[in-house]
Chains A and B, each alone.
Chain A
Amino acid sequence: MARNIIEKIWERHVIAEQEGHPAVLGIDLLLLHEVTSAQAFQMLEERNLTPFAPDMCVATLDHSIPTRPDRFNIIDPEARIQVETLRSNCSRYNIRLYDFESGYQGIVHVIGPELGLTRPGMTIVCGDSHTATHGAFGALAFGIGSTEVGHVLASGALLQRMPRTIKVNFKGELKEGVFSKDVVLELIRQIGTAGANGHVIEYCGEAVRRMSMEERMTICNMSIECGARAGLISPDEITIEYLRTRRYSPRGKEFESAVENWLAYASDPDACYDREITIDLTSLEPLVTWGTNPAQAAPVSKKVPDFSEYVGGGSSADFQAALNYTGLKPGDALEGVPVERAFVGSCTNGRIEDLRIVANILRGRRVKEGVKFYIVPGSERVRSQAIEEGLDKIFKEAGADFRMPGCSMCLAMNDDVVPAGQRCISSSNRNFVGRQGPGSITHLASPATVAASAVKGCITDCREYL
């Protein structure tokens, strides 16, 4: 019988399943960072347990660290303790930690793929809701809470029920200036913030097949923003080529035999899903959010919609509250809304291809006076690659601030905060109230739209700058 990739991975990982109980699902890789792991280690200690398989764990620092050049000096005493706690837990239990200057430190969802730890057919979990990023490789990857991090640490498994499935079919070709970020924002805009609750999404269609791994990661990354705990893409030649040279990838004959296993996870052509959604990308334009959740997005060339045109879900009172917060009203043009901040980075759009797009726009141009533009690489690898390609010079000449790797201004739990009342055009994943700092206003967009808007000083159609 034809099976989809989710069913194939599921079947391969169910260790036990008793009547009336959820399945015991074996986990291949547990990714750890400083914010959601300490309590899990603490739980193990309280129960006199030790990690079941330290070699299935990989840790790094990303959320609460500074992105200043002197980032070793963490000023917030609590954040410093958090980082120290991860270091001591990792050294105590012999868990690999990619610390500052290891050459690989970075956002946990950027380093997994670039190290080749993320592979087709794996189950991957992390105490972070954007873990679905790894789904781009055909892995079943999802975010869990700290208690469940503890369960995986102690047992290498989780109690899970088989998720329902959605096939999202992206039809048509993308126009110039339209990026995978716009594609995923369009999906969220159409189905709403809860549109995929209780489901895992498989992204399909010719548009996805043409995308690079980094573009695919951006789409899978934001699955949670429409409620899907995981989103994935069947592996193909592009996946294999990306994996061929990675640090942890097998080599030679071992690689070739792995490829066979990996490609076998791809969905069978006539596989079934609980739901199917088709989205035509032919006329898609660059999008930008105007409200306080990622479904509240519109083409940058258009106006803030009326409630009657809004399809993202929620009541009219919530719709109005969102606009009150962002200081906009129905009928306002999105182009021309002035911004004080611009941010390119995060697990959504902090990879080398994102930085190249930004550099192409900034080359020979200047960031508008009064706009502070943070460009934050997703990892030390991304940063050194950017320097090797001379992108850092372009950023500097344009007046942007090219910083050290981390989650940075995506979530305001480190020094990088958008001040109250200021408006930020951002390549990150959430425009929730206060997400980038108390009283800050966020407009989500692709890195190209962010860079173009930083140059013009207001929300701008990036296609004028390509």
Chain B
Amino acid sequence: MIKKFIEHTGLAAGLARDNVDTDMIIPARYLTSTSREGYGKNLFKELREKDPDFFLNQERLGEASILISGRNFGCGSSREHAVWALMQAGFRVIIAESFADIFKSNSERNGLILVSLQREIIRELLERAAASELVLTVNLEKLSVSDRQGNLISTFEYDPFRRYCLLNELDDLDYLLSFKAELMKFRTERAEKLFLGGEDGES
């Protein structure tokens, strides 16, 4: 379900690495549930168990709701559970150099805001988050990231259509279904061409 997003202010935590993959975010063995809920507790499970200093184990970062990371965040599987796990653990924004494609579309459809910033800015934010409490405000209307003092850190780009959907809490489905006649027409034409289901009578 898409969650509306206009502006969010929260504590930022750093995960200073590239290629944070979906198996890292939530290992496949926690995906046997049929629900959309209950994944937050297994967020970054292996890293959390192995490394006592991992950010989720630090008391001062317990309330973090913004995560800062490197390049190609969310690479790997299409599991939307990765987005659910992050959101259910309280995250509303991921700031990173870049994101993997499927993770990005899953995030857009849930209201987890992905902000791409340049590597130098990311590095600076990671340093600030490691040194002391870093509170950031991310505004989707203004497309801006600013700090607690109100200083603008950076603006960012966001797909205008996706931005409109998030600001207004609109998901794709109502829009898709508004094309009912066109969808039916396409289906009929294609079904004739594709012979799907034509041969199978046994199983």
Question: Measuring CB to CB, which residues of chain A are less than 8 angstroms from any residue of chain B?
Answer: 13, 15-16, 20-22, 24, 26, 28-29, 35-36, 38-39, 42-43, 47, 52-53, 55-56, 63-64, 76, 78-79, 81-82, 85, 96, 98, 102-104, 117, 119, 122, 127-129, 131, 142-148, 150-151, 154-159, 161, 193-194, 197-198, 224, 227, 229, 247-251, 254, 258, 261, 293, 313-315, 317-318, 321, 411-413, 430, 432-435, 438
Residues of B within 8 A of A55 (CB): 191, 196-197
- In the bound complex, do residue B187 and residue A53 qualify as a contact, i.e. CB atoms below 8 Å apart? yes
- In the bound complex, do residue B19 and residue A314 qualify as a contact, i.e. CB atoms below 8 Å apart? yes
- In the bound complex, do residue A317 and residue B17 qualify as a contact, i.e. CB atoms below 8 Å apart? yes
- In the bound complex, do residue B198 and residue A318 qualify as a contact, i.e. CB atoms below 8 Å apart? no
Q: Across the two chains, which residue of chain B brings its CB closest to A116? A: B199
Q: Across the two chains, which residue of chain B brings its CB closest to A128? A: B78
Interface centre among A122, A144, A159, by most chain B C-beta atoms within 10 angstroms, is A159
- Asked, given contacts A156-B187, A434-B46, whether A22 binds B19 with beta carbons under 8 Å apart, the answer is no
- Asked, given contacts A82-B34, A117-B196, A143-B78, whether A15 binds B186 with beta carbons under 8 Å apart, the answer is yes
- Asked, given contacts A122-B194, A317-B16, A434-B23, whether A15 binds B102 with beta carbons under 8 Å apart, the answer is no
Q: Please tell me which one of the listed residues B34, B75, B83, B190 contacts residue A38 in the complex, with CB atoms under 8 A apart.
A: B34
Q: Across the two chains, which residue of chain B brings its CB closest to A312? A: B19
> In the bound complex, how far is the Cα of B173 from the Cα of A158, in angstroms?
9
A436 to chain B, nearest CB (A): 10
B1 to chain A, nearest CB (A): 8
- Asked, given contacts A15-B182, A433-B23, whether A157 binds B196 with beta carbons under 8 Å apart, the answer is no
A191 to chain B, nearest CB (A): 12
> In the bound complex, how far is the Cα of B182 from the Cα of A103, in angstroms?
37
Residues of A within 8 A of B203 (CB): 96, 98, 102-104
Q: Please tell me which one of the listed residues A13, A43, A147, A194 contacts residue B71 in the complex, with CB atoms under 8 A apart.
A: A194
A25 to chain B, nearest CB (A): 10
B36 to chain A, nearest CB (A): 5
- In the bound complex, do residue A435 and residue B161 qualify as a contact, i.e. CB atoms below 8 Å apart? no
- In the bound complex, do residue A147 and residue B196 qualify as a contact, i.e. CB atoms below 8 Å apart? no
> In the bound complex, how far is the Cα of B32 from the Cα of A82, in angstroms?
6
For the A-B complex with A28-B196, A82-B33 known, give 14 more contacts whose Cβ atoms are closer than 8 Å: A16-B179, A28-B194, A36-B80, A42-B34, A76-B32, A81-B32, A96-B203, A145-B80, A158-B176, A194-B19, A198-B101, A248-B196, A249-B199, A258-B193
Residues of A within 8 A of B160 (CB): 20
> In the bound complex, how far is the Cα of B102 from the Cα of A81, in angstroms?
27
Residues of A within 8 A of B83 (CB): 145
> In the bound complex, how far is the Cα of B110 from the Cα of A186, in angstroms?
35
Residues of B within 8 A of A24 (CB): 176, 179, 182-183
Residues of B within 8 A of A411 (CB): 23, 28
